[in-house]
A and B are shown apart, each in its own frame.
Chain A
């Protein structure tokens, strides 16, 4: 991974613009701490005399994973007519090299960098380039022969990329929003799976797997391949295996839940197989051949315990990091600056990941494998219990996958790259997706009566008791959510802080202050103000999704249950009832919880009571109300465009709709899954199916007007 910044047709004195590009590129230097380079080329077509000069710039901040000694960018083809900056990893680069050599015998590659194939492929195959790459990437290249700019982003948007348009007619591409926001009047996410060519000025989708084209066909078509456990397992193993390509030490993020544990289990087997012939890739400085694994949490958190068990089962070289609530709160301004979103659950889950990435980097590790994507592919969210039929189930997984670049991909990429750590996500492997999304969705449907819990086929594929990948209780137990798993005090602490920072009056005014995608909770309001201080432009706010969602569903899935109807953004508790363990635990707590739930249904305040109760011990005393200047001070650093008090009132554009579910959290712990509960009713008491973790929060969040968001998000990461 790296940071790229490309400017096409910038008008002005080349030295001045160059200096500006150098400065802007520096804003994403965290993505590429190892080296920088800027390439400047005169534009083929110049403006009329007297209107300045047009130049193209390609700037690159490099994180060296492959061939650290020689792979500095930009990269060139043989005669220098194609210049490319690439952020990403190309897993099939060896095969592509062979292909290029077959077409252009005698080519001498300058490095072993996996990315060096890009300019040559473009030379030979032109715009087909993007579809030939297996990996995750953002590419910007200049073709000096035609003067064209070509840009592409990987199929699912694992790698972040933005595109913007400057007032002078320039086109900007950047790995992160922060580099182009001050220069562009319009900007947006670069659509994943697309390429853009300045020759035509159009975005073209090059990624057209069957599950996309079937989804878009009229009438819609659905996959029908029978579930083949071995095929699914092998596809996933292959996805992990190709991601172990690295010339530097690497590790795996291990929260102890199903997804990350599977990644760790497969990686650890492969490592063992490889170290048999003497290459212990992830050995780190010590030179052992155990896989490095990493976990973070508040002291004593569920994740730390779960991961420790899995790590000891797998025999990884495990590292536990703990953080305090205060450290998390202190980092929040940084986190939002880095991840460039105000989505509540994304911010919550990004913070521990951000802190962990710093520690991982401090240990000299530059690359980690991570478990994002499984819940989308296999329908792991609670609301999938309610899928009315397999067709709807499948369609929802497709919709979720297509939105992932705004949520988990964005988090996994930016929270780690904030410290120059690259996260690779095998569940979003192209070939694996074709297998997993080709399975008849009837196999994915949840039916607890027949023992089919969420992600059943994935679990089943790795259920090989004779040579177990994981302990049975890990394989068959539902995982804590990331932002819950790090410790129950985390979310409570965030809410308590929000309570201090945002008054009831301020929140009541939120619809005027933020007419688009208005924050519905104090926590959301807080994040929004911090975001705004870093990214004051309307276009920046527009990159962040909002809109109706049930427990992180897309709007389409929000119509699955009549009980959800009419609620714009019902809390996750509406679906929580489908979840046995949650219900059981809630009943165990009935004495207190239910009563509180019931009584708090109209008030928005019980959450504060609960939150402050649980965090009183850990939060240092602070003045009760701190005013917005405290929020803004978080952002008040030199290179962040400081927007103290600068709020463009009512700077409205079209509301961000249809963005799919917010970033979400995963379901509450499911320790003892017994049977499917009666469908959750609409009554407040029936809604009390919360875990003890969530009870206080849920109680508050379900509370009435306007239906608050965070509990919904709780059900998904």
Chain B
């Protein structure tokens, strides 16, 4: 991962503009602490802040094709770069590569295949290509938006692309998230979706089509194992985030097994867990780590340390979404400690709840068709929530998070399964994410202890310790008066905060990002326990409640009863149901 900033077609090609771009790029230097690169070609500027994961010695960017007519600045990892190099060499024998960086293929691919390049990459990425032969540019973002990227337009007609919003917000009159799975070409001035998997096309077809493949545990397991293993490509030490829940434990297990099988120059797998002292995650993470034999690191934080960090967290993750901030803060603090240990890359478990319908409200899915449609909608929105969190909360400290559940190949397998298999039916023992649990239920050679494999996980922001969310609310109570909350609808007519906590976050967000366009990048709208607006119609009991708490759905969940009762205030339980 890295930070990229491109300013194209600026009317200003002066030294002053160069200095300006450098100063702006510095704002995302946390993404690329290892080196900075800047390429100016006339009135185009490509800046890069590098985090060196592959080829630390020589992969400084921007990167070029052989005759240096094509310049590219990339943030991301290309897992199939070896195959692509091979492909390039076959098509163009004698081609010389300037570095061993996985990202260099992009410049050559663009030279050979033009706009097809984005669709050929397997990995997560955001990049900008400047073609000096005809003075055009091209930008693309990975299929699911694991890598963040924004696009903006300046008053002078310039086009800006940046990994984080903070670099372009002051210079663009309009900006937005760059749509995931799309590329933008200056030749046409249009966004084109290059990522068109079966589950997207079927979803958009009229009438809508649904997947029907039978569930094959072995196939699903192998697809996920392949996904985790390809993400272990790294020239620097790495680890895994291990909260002790199902998703992160599976990732850790596969990674640990591979290292046990094949060895590693860095010794045992590192695993990391964060929590308030005595939190559920710390216990669960420790148990799994012991089972797997990882080199486990526990980090503790206090509520005060978390609150001290909130403003900075919001500055980094660039959202005021309540649950995202709650969950980002521990992740942000943990990333700092991880980085302090010299680790630059971690594997993380995001995405599983979307793919398999792991949220509580999926209990209420009226049909397998609705169930499936909701998973697609959730996946398509993920870049505004968990992808954004996983990317920015870690990159705030130059730690790269890789998310195997959002692997292209794995998604093709997991989203093609007949959704009837994913439906929750406790009477038949089918709890949430049944098929992924079942796929790894191999008692003869267990991936995980049975109680971890079959137990529902604490949510991240609760799992770090019950007093975390309570502490945030108590602090918000001191920051926002009843009067202020009452007039919130006037103060923030769009996406109005409904709780003091939300109001507090909103004011901090506004202090960092006062532009209206910035506010518009943050999602809002009706939701039941993190459902999409569509799924909020699933239960009549939810109707009429604009933003009901998760307790409305908590009843479907056995263990949630207790915590819901314990929480006098319904809000945390609501969020409990979602990361």
Interface residues of chain A, those whose CB is within 8 Å of chain B, are 15, 18-19, 22-23, 26, 33-38, 64, 68, 248, 285, 326-327, 330-331, 333-334, 358-359, 361-364, 419, 500-501, 620, 622-623, 626-627, 629-631, 633-638
Among the listed B36, B305, B336, B337, which residue makes an inter-chain contact with A330, where contact means beta carbons less than 8 Å apart?
Answer: B36
CA distance A2 to B27 in the complex (A): 22
Q: Which residues of B contact A326 (CB under 8 A)?
A: 38
CA distance A634 to B336 in the complex (A): 28
CA distance A334 to B35 in the complex (A): 13
Is B33 in the interface zone, CB < 8 Å from A?
yes
Is B111 in the interface zone, CB < 8 Å from A?
no
CA distance A359 to B14 in the complex (A): 29
CA distance A340 to B14 in the complex (A): 27
Q: By the criterion CB–CB under 8 Å, are B40 and A634 in contact?
A: no
Interface of chain B: mostly helix, strand, loop or mixed? helix
Q: By the criterion CB–CB under 8 Å, are B33 and A361 in contact?
A: yes
Among the listed A22, A358, A635, A638, which residue makes an inter-chain contact with B33, where contact means beta carbons less than 8 Å apart?
Answer: A358
Among the listed A33, A34, A363, which residue makes an inter-chain contact with B56, where contact means beta carbons less than 8 Å apart?
Answer: A363
Known: A68-B340, A626-B14, A634-B19. A15 touches B478 (CB 8 A): yes
Given pairs A330-B36, A334-B26, A364-B236, 17 additional interface contacts (CB within 8 A): A15-B478, A18-B308, A22-B311, A23-B311, A33-B336, A34-B336, A34-B339, A36-B305, A64-B340, A285-B266, A285-B342, A358-B33, A358-B34, A501-B15, A626-B14, A631-B19, A638-B166
Q: By the criterion CB–CB under 8 Å, are A285 and B237 in contact?
A: yes
Q: By the criterion CB–CB under 8 Å, are B35 and A633 in contact?
A: no
Is B413 in the interface zone, CB < 8 Å from A?
no
Is B489 in the interface zone, CB < 8 Å from A?
no
30 contacts between A and B (CB under 8 A): A23-B311, A33-B340, A33-B397, A35-B337, A36-B305, A36-B308, A64-B340, A68-B340, A248-B342, A285-B266, A327-B36, A330-B36, A331-B36, A358-B34, A359-B34, A361-B33, A362-B33, A362-B35, A363-B56, A364-B236, A622-B15, A626-B16, A630-B19, A631-B19, A633-B16, A634-B23, A635-B23, A636-B19, A637-B23, A637-B26
Q: By the criterion CB–CB under 8 Å, are A362 and B237 in contact?
A: no
CA distance A37 to B478 in the complex (A): 21
Q: Which residues of A contact B522 (CB under 8 A)?
A: none
Is B426 in the interface zone, CB < 8 Å from A?
no
Q: Which residues of B contact A19 (CB under 8 A)?
A: 308, 311
Q: By the criterion CB–CB under 8 Å, are B52 and A333 in contact?
A: no
Closest to B343 in A: A364
CA distance A697 to B481 in the complex (A): 66
Q: Is the interface on chain B under 10, 10 to 19, 20 to 34, or 35 or more residues? A: 35 or more
Q: By the criterion CB–CB under 8 Å, are A37 and B34 in contact?
A: no
Q: By the criterion CB–CB under 8 Å, are B38 and A330 in contact?
A: yes
Q: By the criterion CB–CB under 8 Å, are A362 and B34 in contact?
A: yes
Q: Which residues of A contact B38 (CB under 8 A)?
A: 326, 330
Known: A19-B311, A330-B38, A620-B40. A34 touches B340 (CB 8 A): yes
Q: By the criterion CB–CB under 8 Å, are A333 and B15 in contact?
A: no
Is B20 in the interface zone, CB < 8 Å from A?
yes
CA distance A26 to B336 in the complex (A): 13
CA distance A269 to B52 in the complex (A): 32
Known: A23-B311, A33-B397, A634-B22. A419 touches B33 (CB 8 A): yes
Q: Which residues of B contact A23 (CB under 8 A)?
A: 311
Chain B, 21-45, contact with A by CB distance < 8 Å: what is the 0/1 string?
0111011000001111010100000
Q: By the criterion CB–CB under 8 Å, are A362 and B56 in contact?
A: yes
Q: By the criterion CB–CB under 8 Å, are B35 and A358 in contact?
A: yes
Closest to A63 in B: B340
CA distance A572 to B337 in the complex (A): 49
Q: How far is the CB of A637 from chain B (nearest CB, A)?
A: 5
Q: Which residues of A contact B33 (CB under 8 A)?
A: 358, 361-362, 419
- In chain B, residues 391-413, which have Cβ atoms closer than 8 Å to a Cβ of chain A? 397
CA distance A631 to B311 in the complex (A): 30
Known: A633-B23, A635-B23. A623 touches B35 (CB 8 A): no
Q: How far is the CB of A487 from chain B (nearest CB, A)?
A: 18
Is B510 in the interface zone, CB < 8 Å from A?
no
Is B341 in the interface zone, CB < 8 Å from A?
yes
Q: By the criterion CB–CB under 8 Å, are B22 and A330 in contact?
A: yes
CA distance A364 to B343 in the complex (A): 9
Q: Which residues of A contact B337 (CB under 8 A)?
A: 34-35
Closest to B298 in A: A69
Q: By the criterion CB–CB under 8 Å, are B339 and A33 in contact?
A: yes
Q: By the criterion CB–CB under 8 Å, are A623 and B14 in contact?
A: yes
Q: Which residues of A contact B266 (CB under 8 A)?
A: 285
Q: Which residues of B contact A18 (CB under 8 A)?
A: 308
Q: By the criterion CB–CB under 8 Å, are B20 and A636 in contact?
A: yes
Among the listed A33, A68, A633, A637, which residue makes an inter-chain contact with B27, where contact means beta carbons less than 8 Å apart?
Answer: A637
Q: How far is the CB of A421 from chain B (nearest CB, A)?
A: 11
Q: How far is the CB of B490 from chain A (nearest CB, A)?
A: 25
Q: Which 9 A-B pairs have the closest CB atoms?
A: A34-B340, A362-B34, A630-B16, A633-B19, A626-B15, A630-B15, A633-B20, A364-B342, A637-B23
Q: Which residues of B contact A361 (CB under 8 A)?
A: 33-34
Q: Which residues of B contact A38 (CB under 8 A)?
A: 308
Is B370 in the interface zone, CB < 8 Å from A?
no
Is B312 in the interface zone, CB < 8 Å from A?
yes
Q: Which residues of B contact A36 (CB under 8 A)?
A: 305, 308
Closest to B304 in A: A38
Q: Which residues of B contact A362 (CB under 8 A)?
A: 33-35, 52, 56
Q: How far is the CB of B447 from chain A (nearest CB, A)?
A: 29
Q: How far is the CB of A33 from chain B (nearest CB, A)?
A: 7
Q: Which residues of A contact B27 (CB under 8 A)?
A: 637-638
Closest to B56 in A: A362
Q: By the criterion CB–CB under 8 Å, are B312 and A26 in contact?
A: yes
Chain B, 242-268, contact with A by CB distance < 8 Å: what is the 0/1 string?
000000000000000000000000100
Q: Which residues of A contact B24 (CB under 8 A)?
A: 637
Q: Which residues of A contact B237 (CB under 8 A)?
A: 285
CA distance A560 to B151 in the complex (A): 64
Q: How far is the CB of B244 from chain A (nearest CB, A)?
A: 20
Q: How far is the CB of B330 from chain A (nearest CB, A)?
A: 14
- In chain B, residues 334-348, which have Cβ atoms closer than 8 Å to a Cβ of chain A? 336-337, 339-342
CA distance A22 to B17 in the complex (A): 32
Q: Which residues of A contact B305 (CB under 8 A)?
A: 36-37
- In chain B, residues 460-501, which have Cβ atoms closer than 8 Å to a Cβ of chain A? 478
CA distance A623 to B13 in the complex (A): 9
Closest to A23 in B: B311
Q: Which residues of B contact A638 (CB under 8 A)?
A: 27, 166
Q: By the criterion CB–CB under 8 Å, are A68 and B26 in contact?
A: no
Q: By the criterion CB–CB under 8 Å, are B35 and A333 in contact?
A: no
Which of A362, A501, A636 counts the most chain B CB atoms within 10 A? Answer: A362
Closest to B475 in A: A15
Among the listed B15, B20, B52, B236, which residue makes an inter-chain contact with A500, where contact means beta carbons less than 8 Å apart?
Answer: B15
Closest to B512 in A: A638
Q: Which residues of B contact A35 (CB under 8 A)?
A: 336-337, 340
Q: Which residues of A contact B339 (CB under 8 A)?
A: 33-34
CA distance A633 to B14 in the complex (A): 11
CA distance A8 to B52 in the complex (A): 41
CA distance A630 to B13 in the complex (A): 12
Known: A362-B34, A419-B33. A627 touches B16 (CB 8 A): yes
Closest to A630 in B: B16
Q: Which residues of B contact A629 (CB under 8 A)?
A: 16
Which of B19, B35, B40, B312 counts the most chain A CB atoms within 10 A? Answer: B19
Q: How far is the CB of A330 from chain B (nearest CB, A)?
A: 5
Q: Which residues of B contact A500 (CB under 8 A)?
A: 15
Closest to A625 in B: B15
Q: Which residues of A contact B19 (CB under 8 A)?
A: 333, 630-631, 633-634, 636
CA distance A631 to B14 in the complex (A): 12
Chain B, 499-514, contact with A by CB distance < 8 Å: what is the 0/1 string?
0000000000000000
CA distance A630 to B236 in the complex (A): 38
CA distance A635 to B56 in the complex (A): 29
Among the listed B14, B23, B341, which residue makes an inter-chain contact with A68, where contact means beta carbons less than 8 Å apart?
Answer: B341
Q: Which residues of B contact A359 (CB under 8 A)?
A: 34-35
Q: Which residues of B contact A358 (CB under 8 A)?
A: 33-35
